[in-house]
Chain A
């Protein structure tokens, strides 16, 4: 049987159990947050777009924001049998794709996303084992539920596994 690969789109999340892997393609300023339960071999991936849901008028899609997205993923993983204290995290993304010359008005959304993700994970007592963040390149990531490894592909800066 071939290994199942589950795709996670922008502002979406998914959960998989071994031997399946979770993939999200083309992270720019968005951040991919991967959570893993090493005992149960359950992995979760949320592709967040924005740092903070508290500024939003109404939140219909929780996976879009760092705060609600991570909370939602943890909640759903608990439903699948994991406990929050066993979870560890790996994160990737938060780049700045476009650099406007001489402009300060453009919010560095990538950086804000990374900060928000770190804060949310800290609040939930989830340890970050690896980060592959910032810079100015797009990233495609694959998260393996078997061993919790995260494979990161870029166009100009090669590939690596963390």
Chain B
């Protein structure tokens, strides 16, 4: 496979399935962490040129908190968790046992807890993938940024940019029932990883 634009519908569906399994595991972990039920929307898989990708995630100028980590080993890829700042504070208030609305700025403790959430989400997602593909995944410690969506995506997509003009984004949305809180988790596989995933799914 030379470029993400070559992926067909059947393969996209298979990728959605795998991200559903991964994110299902992640949602369970998140739910245990904050002690509340977490639901998930049907995953979406998108292939788009770089110039359009920011529009798919709510616009390049929207301010979001992003937790990003790299996965090395057999299956190199990036993982990104994005959530609007106020929504992130809602999660964190629950986690800290505070009344919703308590947090209003990113203290060191907020950042650290946010990274921990990303850590747990990605860890459980990757565990599900590992069972499925029989590969070794070695995720890095997450890094975080609170800034424009476009700026966050630009850096995250840079590795993909070296090999493709298109980005493949597998997106899962987590929903906390009481307050329609949504966070998006993106899996950004490098082409080599994508091939392995498609082979494991029997669609390549």
Contacts and interface: CB of A to CB of B under 8 A. Distances in A.
B18 to A, nearest CB: 25
A69 B158 CA distance: 16
Interface string B149-174: 11111111110011101000000000
B63 interface: yes
Given A28-B147, A137-B147, A109 B52 contact: no
Contacts of B54: 9-10, 25-26
A118 interface: no
Nearest to A102: B141
Contacts of A12: 50-51
Contacts of A56: 162-163
Interface in B11-30: none
A55 interface: yes
A50 B148 contact: no
A57 B163 contact: yes
Contact of A109 (B68, B147, B155): B155
Contacts of B156: 98
A26 B143 contact: no
A12 to B, nearest CB: 4
A102 B144 CA distance: 14
Contacts of A106: 70
For chain A, give the interface size range.
Answer: 35 or more
Given A10-B150, A27-B150, A100 B158 contact: no
A139 B151 contact: yes
Nearest to B52: A9
Interface residues of B, number: 35
B147 A97 contact: yes
B141 A50 contact: no
B73 to A, nearest CB: 13
Contacts of B61: 25-26, 140
A121 interface: no
Given A57-B163, A140-B148, A50 B158 contact: yes
Contacts of B144: 98
Contacts of B63: 155
A49 B151 contact: no
A30 B53 CA distance: 14
Given A100-B141, A136-B145, A140-B148, 6 more contacts: A25-B148, A49-B50, A49-B154, A98-B145, A100-B140, A100-B143
Interface of B: 49-54, 59-61, 63, 66, 68, 70, 140-141, 143-158, 161-163, 165
